Amino acid sequence: MDNKSQGQETVARNDSTPRIIRFLGGRATMFVLLSILLIGLIILVFSKVSFIFYPIKVFFSTVVLPIILATIAYYLLRPILRLLERMRIPRVWGIFILFVGLAGLITLFVFLVFPFLKIQFANLIEEFPTYFKQMLINVDTFLRTSIFSAYYGEMDININKLLDNGLGNIGEFFTDAIGGIASGVTSFISALTGFVLAIITVPFILFYLLKDGEKLPKMIVKMLPPRLRDEADAIFKDADHQISAYIQGQILVAICIGIMVSIGFRIIGMDYALLLGALAMFTSVVPYLGPIIAITPAAIIAIVTSPFMLVKLAVVWTIVQLVEGKFISPQIMGKSLRVHPITIIFVLLTAGSLFGVVGVVLGIPGYALIKVVFTHMFKLLKLRYNKHEPDTDMHYEG
């Protein structure tokens, strides 16, 4: 019997079933609708007795930070561990070597780099109010002597009065702000204690991730029904690839940006070159917003120093962005995430509004994981649709 005859016979059997019901899975549609209704009722009940789940909320809020830090370290160290295993070093001994090397690097940073950055940071905080006031004066002088002087004069802005009334004592403003923060010393100590405990637990979580992390997806797949195992295994592999590519690539790109910015600022004679390079490195993990945050203090210092310094800063920053965008990121990151720039902006805005700084940092990899899951679900939906669609010309391709 040919495909056309089979299709006509299938249509004859399913004439009593509406097309939309067949598309959604036939009798399973009622089950899906009832399941959605049940989930809605469960959510409603949970919202009324949410206090019962407060300990669970505290538990998850406590373990999220160490798990995230351990996961980042896991994906950074896993390639090195695999290299050690190819050198016929047992996995446990390889983990021990990694831990010793990591401890040595942290010690080196704490005793050599951190004190210098601490001094530069303290000096910048102390001098920043002066930089900011001088920048306002320079901008005011420029506007009064530029082609915009007539429009600026109509605004009747007295910069000296503004500085005397509003910004005349910026140092006291920062002092009061610090005093306000210090008044909440109890909450600060609580947060600091939680952070320290998170840091202490990271090595233990990291050890077991390095030791058994690759076995966990296989264990979960074995717990699923046989029909779902192949697709679940594909989802885990794609998700692992997305996370690995993003974390490893983003860290390497951030290090390259920090080194280039520090060297460039040092060459042009910019104050606090190393500190500004470190700031650029840490903020570069946030797409689009990171460079704006990093360039702001550097631009203020350059404006106060001299107009020519601002030009040199613009040249260095342009070169860094071109090298990063045209050479470093394509080679390191490639096109692993395949996320449109407009989508990235919307994800950052939404994740930042929902979860703050954590959402901004983790929004893009989280979106990539959700995209992997929905891509595979849509693939299964297409297969199901083709199964219930008798007309082969209406089938989805690929």
Q: Quick check: 12 pLDDT over 50?
A: no
Q: What confidence tens digit (pLDDT) does each residue in 291-301 have?
A: 888 888 888 88
Helix (H, G, I), strand (E, B) or coil at 391: coil
Question: Measured between alpha carbons, how far is residue 91 from residues 67, 84, 192, 237, 241 in Å?
Answer: 21, 8, 34, 21, 21
pLDDT of the residue at 29: 63
Percent of the chain with pLDDT over 70: 70
Q: What confidence tens digit (pLDDT) does each residue in 190-213 have?
A: 555 666 667 788 888 888 888 888
Q: What confidence tens digit (pLDDT) does each residue in 13-67 have?
A: 445 566 666 665 555 566 667 778 888 888 887 777 777 777 777 777 777 778 8
pLDDT of the residue at 64: 77
Top pLDDT among 219 and 173 is at 219
Residue 303: how many other CB atoms lie within 10 Å: 20
Residue whose structure tokens are 């490639």: 334
Q: Quick check: 76 pLDDT over 80?
A: yes
Q: What confidence tens digit (pLDDT) does each residue in 117-150 have?
A: 788 777 777 777 777 777 777 777 777 777 766 6
Mean pLDDT in residue range 174-195: 51
Q: Among candidates 200, 205, 254, which has minimal Cα distance to 77?
A: 205
Q: What confidence tens digit (pLDDT) does each residue in 330-365 have?
A: 766 655 566 667 777 788 788 877 777 677 777 778
